[in-house]
Amino acid sequence: MKDCYKFNTKVMHDCKGKDAFNALVPPIYTSASYRFNSAEEGGASFRGETNCFIYTRLGNPTTNQLEKRIASLEEGEGAVAFASGMGAISAVFYTLLANGDHIVADKTIYGCTFALLNHGLTKLGIEVTFIDFNEEGALKKALKKNTKAVFFETPANPTLKIIDIETVVKTVKQFNPDIQIICDNTFATPYHQQPITMGVDIVVHSGTKYLNGHGDAICGFVVGRNNFIDQCKMVGLKDMTGAVLGPMEAYLILRGIKTLAIRMERHSQNAMEVAKFLQFHPKVERVYYPGLPGFSGHEIAKKQMKNGFGGILSFVLKGGIDQGIKLIDSVKLINVAVSLGECESLIEHPASMTHSTYTESERLASGIEDGLIRLSVGIEDAGDLIADLSQALEKI
Ligand SMILES: Cc1ncc(COP(=O)(O)O)c(C=O)c1O
Residue with the smallest CA separation from ligand 1 atom 2 is 110
pLDDT number for residue 3? 62
How many whole angstroms from 106 Cα to the centroid of ligand 1? 15
pLDDT in tens, the chain (396 residues): 456 799 999 999 877 777 888 898 999 999 999 999 999 999 999 999 999 999 999 999 999 999 999 999 999 999 999 999 999 999 999 999 999 999 999 999 999 999 999 999 999 999 999 999 999 999 999 999 999 999 999 999 999 999 999 999 999 999 999 999 999 999 999 999 999 999 999 999 999 999 999 999 999 999 999 999 999 999 999 999 999 999 999 999 999 999 999 999 999 999 999 999 999 999 999 999 999 999 999 999 999 999 999 999 999 999 999 999 999 999 999 999 999 999 999 999 999 999 999 999 999 999 999 999 999 999 999 999 999 999 999 999
Mapping DSSP to helix (H, G, I), strand (E, B) and coil, where does residue 240 land?
helix
- Using alpha carbons, select from 223, 135, 229, 129 the residue that is nearest to residue 182: 223
- Using alpha carbons, select from 23, 72, 53 the residue that is nearest to residue 251: 23
pLDDT number for residue 17? 74
- Distance of alpha carbon 396 from alpha carbon 392, whole angstroms: 7
How many whole angstroms from 45 Cα to the centroid of ligand 1? 34
Which residue among 183, 204, 206, 210 is best mutated to probe the pocket of ligand 1, counting the most ligand atoms within 8 A of its Cβ?
206
Ligand 1 atom closest to Cα of 89?
Answer: 4
How many whole angstroms from 206 Cα to the centroid of ligand 1? 5
Query: Which superfamily, per CATH, for 260-394?
Result: Aspartate Aminotransferase, domain 1 (3.90.1150.10)
Q: Name the residue ranges covered by the structural domains of the chain.
A: 2-258, 260-394
Ligand 1 atom closest to Cα of 157?
Answer: 1
Q: Cβ neighbours of residue 38 under 8 Å, at least 6 residues apart?
A: none
Q: Tell me which residues have their CB closer than 6 angstroms to ligand 1.
A: 84-86, 110, 112-113, 153, 157, 184, 186, 206, 208, 218, 220
How many whole angstroms from 40 Cα to the centroid of ligand 1? 42
Ligand 1 atom closest to Cα of 86?
Answer: 11
Catalytic residues: 57, 110, 184, 209
Using the 8-state DSSP alphabet, how is residue 259 labeled? G
- Using alpha carbons, select from 289, 226, 218 the residue that is nearest to residue 248: 218
pLDDT number for residue 258? 97
Global pTM reads 0.97
Ligand 1 atom closest to Cα of 109?
Answer: 1
- Distance of alpha carbon 204 from alpha carbon 154, whole angstroms: 12
How many whole angstroms from 354 Cα to the centroid of ligand 1? 10
**359-to-12, 103, 111, 135, 356 alpha-carbon distances in Å:** 43, 21, 10, 22, 7
Q: Looking at the domain covering 2-258, what would its CATH class be?
A: alpha beta
- Distance of alpha carbon 56 from alpha carbon 63, whole angstroms: 9
